[in-house]
Structure 1
Amino acid sequence: MTAVPARRREGLYFAIRNGKLLAGLAVLVPLLLLAAAAPLIGGQDPNAYVAAPASPPSAQSWFGTTMFGQDVFSQFVYGLRSTFVVGALGGGLAAIIGMTIGFTAGYRGGLVDEVLNMLTNIVLVLPALAVLLIVNAYLGVRSVGVQALFIGLTSWPWAARAIRAQTFSLRSRDFVDLARLSGVRTWKIIAREIAPNMNSYLFMTFILLFGGSILIAASLDFIGLGPSQGISLGLMLNNAARWSALHLGMWWWFIPPGAGITAIVGALYVMNVGLDEVFNPRLREL
């Protein structure tokens, strides 16, 4: 009973001393707080025309204004919120699907494993962009939720494969055999015996899915397949490119969203490397 708290204390000890993890958090947390406070510091409508068009950064408009007089800072903070939301929803949904299929296939094996593995391979080779173009033609209004749903439904296969492999190696352990012989149901064995031994791996998988969802959403936004309402960092880049901000020297329009996406995804991946060092004793730096 004392082994789990001891491992937690050991993990916390190395976590607060891991430079990569702390550096990632130092970048991610302020951006997350900025996104949470968007209505307080960015006004109620990020697309409102509030100042002179194409104005450079100033005391009145910290990040300047767009070609139409919209405040870039207001759009940036609201764009951060959309970015975190689509990352959390898309990454979370992909993690849930990947874990469900990975655990089931890895533990049950046999025909169940073959069927789920075939499903995984089908989704893995599915041309996601082509499917989105078709779906986009039939959707009158696109939202962050719909975008996150699509990302979650198409980005889980690699996670399912990785979790299946881990589950396959754990299902033959003595403690799993003992639970099976005791008559414990399958889902309880997975939840109580297998999953707890993969907590660190599952957490790092979610972080990777979170960052991947943000990159996919930004790419879709940039090519014009993002939400038709609201604002996001990818849509800011799309608008800046559409109205020739680079050629006009309006660097304040496209640098903040580009830097925001890079900072969030970069921080997540640096954190993931740090967490790998924390959870893997062979990689720890004493």
Structure 2
Amino acid sequence: MTDINPESDVVAAPSVPVATAVGGEPAGRRRVRDGLHFALRNKKVVGGSAVILAFLAVGLVAPLFFDYGHGEYVGPPSAPPSADYWFGTTTFGQNVFLQFAHGIRSTFLVGLLGGALAALIGMTIGFMAGYFGGLVDEFLNMLTNIVLVLPALAVLIILHTYIGITSVPSQALFIGLFSWPWVARAVRAQTFSLRNRDFVDLARLSGMSSGAIIRREIAPNMSSYLFMTFILLFGGAVLFAATLDFIGLGPTGSVSLGLMMNNAVHWSALQLGLWWWFIPPGLGITVIVGALYIMNVGLDEVFNPKLREM
């Protein structure tokens, strides 16, 4: 199993296959076809993907069936789950299910934006450090270590105090800026193992630029590893955002699963026995992150022939 450990300097991973054409079929197309073939037969990948798609469908489709907003007072206060209000209502008569659906939207958006930003920064730095080595590697490794040792939560508290997190994109920006160091180390280690391969030397001799070599020769041979890394970043961004929202450092102009739990605690839902207010968002975060982890384990089995189930 591929070991992606954010706390480790060295990332152990299976050897990366070199892309070659067989029987006239491009290697990239063949790799994608084989990957889909085994992914659709892996129960972890199929099950995790089904859960993620189900939550995404709820977040995108469910709000369309309501003619009022998630913050409007539409029902009796503190009503338990019923046919009219599937997840009950808050102490102010707000529909908890509608808030839950909107919260899923925010959860996926911050996961996508925060994970994508962290992946972009980490992979760029990792590729450059691993390919060029020398002074470039030393400088980028020093930068990575500086960000790695910064107390991210404390820095975010300070930034929130002076700047404020007013929207989901701004929250994703802060999360992405502090989530990339372990990605940089992982990609750097993989690039080190690929930069002296024969196909990279051949690309250099052909006059291809360093950037083109990284994009066309090295990155494609790490595509499965990079995809699995993004899944971990997605789940990490979801957890990070939920933590910030729960302690009151998230955007208050919208609703999220973490903010729902924050409001439930703030208005004494636990003491009042309003379990339907705080259990759905907490369970939703747990299931989403758990499904992403299961998907990652399944993809490891798909991409690693030693673990692959025939």
Letter in 2 for 1:200: S
Residue 143 (structure 1) shift:
1.1
Aligned-partner Cα distance in 2 for 1:140–1:177: 49
Residue 141 (structure 1) shift:
5.6
Q: Does 1:266 align with 2:290?
A: yes
Aligned-partner Cα distance in 1 for 2:164–2:229: 34
Aligned-partner Cα distance in 1 for 2:288–2:117: 19
The match for 1:243 is 267
The match for 2:172 is 148
The match for 2:190 is 166
User: Which of 4, 7, 31 pairs up with 2:55?
Assistant: 31
Q: Write out aligned runs for 1:47-58 (5 A).
A: 47-58=71-82
CA distance 1:19–1:193, change in 2 (3 Å): same
Q: Does 1:5 align with 2:39?
A: no
The match for 2:200 is 176
Spell out, residue by residue over 1:195-225, the C-alpha distance to the aligned partner (whole angstroms, 9 max, x if none).
Answer: 0000000000000000000000001100111
CA distance 1:87–1:44, change in 2 (3 Å): farther
Letter in 2 for 1:244: S
Confirm or deny: 8 A CA contact 1:222 1:237 kept in the other structure.
Answer: yes
Q: Write out aligned runs for 1:1-286 (5 A).
A: 1=21, 2=25, 3-140=27-164, 142-286=166-310
Confirm or deny: 8 A CA contact 1:63 1:253 kept in the other structure.
Answer: yes
% identical aligned pairs: 69
Q: Secondary structure at the match of 1:46?
A: coil
Aligned-partner Cα distance in 2 for 1:281–1:42: 48
**Greater alpha carbon shift after TM alignment, 188-197 vs 177-186:** 177-186
Spell out, residue by residue over 1:107-142, the C-alpha distance to the aligned partner (whole angstroms, 9 max, x if none).
Answer: 000000000000000000111111111111123562
The match for 2:9 is none
Aligned-partner Cα distance in 2 for 1:238–1:228: 11
Aligned-partner Cα distance in 1 for 2:50–2:165: 36
Aligned-partner Cα distance in 2 for 1:141–1:169: 40
**Greater alpha carbon shift after TM alignment, 43-52 vs 223-232:** 43-52
Confirm or deny: 8 A CA contact 2:165 2:171 kept in the other structure.
Answer: no
> How does the TM-score come out when normalised to structure 2?
0.90
The match for 2:6 is none
Confirm or deny: 8 A CA contact 2:165 2:250 kept in the other structure.
Answer: no
**Greater alpha carbon shift after TM alignment, 85-94 vs 3-12:** 3-12
Confirm or deny: 8 A CA contact 2:165 2:249 kept in the other structure.
Answer: no
Query: Considering only aligned residues, what root-mean-square deviation do their CA atoms show, in Å?
Result: 1.1
Residue 43 (structure 1) shift:
4.3
Residue 59 (structure 1) shift:
1.3
**Greater alpha carbon shift after TM alignment, 19-28 vs 206-215:** 19-28
Aligned-partner Cα distance in 1 for 2:173–2:229: 18
Residue 7 (structure 1) shift:
2.6
> How does the TM-score come out when normalised to structure 1?
0.97
**Greater alpha carbon shift after TM alignment, 265-274 vs 34-43:** 34-43
Aligned-partner Cα distance in 2 for 1:211–1:6: 29
**Greater alpha carbon shift after TM alignment, 241-250 vs 108-117:** 241-250
Aligned-partner Cα distance in 2 for 1:173–1:97: 25
Aligned-partner Cα distance in 2 for 1:43–1:76: 16
Q: Secondary structure at the match of 1:283?
A: coil
Residue 4 (structure 1) shift:
3.2
How many residues matched? 286
The match for 2:16 is none
Letter in 2 for 1:125: V
Aligned-partner Cα distance in 1 for 2:141–2:176: 18
Spell out, residue by residue over 1:259-280, the C-alpha distance to the aligned partner (whole angstroms, 9 max, x if none).
Answer: 1101110110000000000000
